[in-house]
Amino acid sequence: MEKSQNPIAVRSRSMLRQAMLELLAERPYGQITVTALCEHAQLGRKTFYRNYAEKDDILREYIACLADGFLEKLREQAPFGDTAFAQTLFAYWKPYADLFCLLEQNGEFRFVQREFERVAARVGGWFICPEAMREDRTFQRYCASFVSGGCYALLRDWMCGGAVEPVEQMTALFCQIRRLKA
């Protein structure tokens, strides 16, 4: 669904997103209805359906927007090595730890995982094995899976554990893990 950039539509989506995040903190995702979202946002159901086909679209759009912001931060640093990548990974996502934990607690981390797969497909070869990324589509696919799975699992565990370790420590751990050989 193509999103309108009309200021009223943008504001409505923002209100619905905020309502989703607030309701997610109060109740399980499965118990959040379109009606509850609209009531919480003080918007009509027609406004909801003008902007979204289903409630999942709110989280998909929000997480995709966050992932695009992460990609932009990486582009600013390209080319980069392990340290720059890890520093950006942990520093960028740390402010969203509460959201990640809510999604994990609700069994809805799939929204984040899908976006990590999309991001990894775009950055996997940048730091895993750029020389092998030239033409080998099979390698590209599995490389992206490897990158997204590892980064997403490490990030999820850190954030859902309270993100108590500083970004610098997580960056060092990431680099240490990357140096491990099979």
Task: Encode the chain (182 residues) as per-residue pLDDT tens digits.
Answer: 567 788 998 999 999 999 999 999 999 999 999 999 999 999 999 999 999 999 999 999 999 999 999 989 988 887 777 888 899 999 999 999 998 888 888 888 888 888 877 777 777 555 555 555 556 778 777 777 777 788 888 998 999 999 999 999 999 999 898 877 65
Residue 150: the pLDDT is: 83
| The token pair that represents 58 in the structure block | 């709110």
Q: Note the helical H segments in the chain.
A: 7-26, 34-41, 45-51, 56-77, 82-93, 97-105, 110-127, 137-160, 167-178
Residue 131: the pLDDT is: 55
**pTM for the predicted model, two decimal places:** 0.83
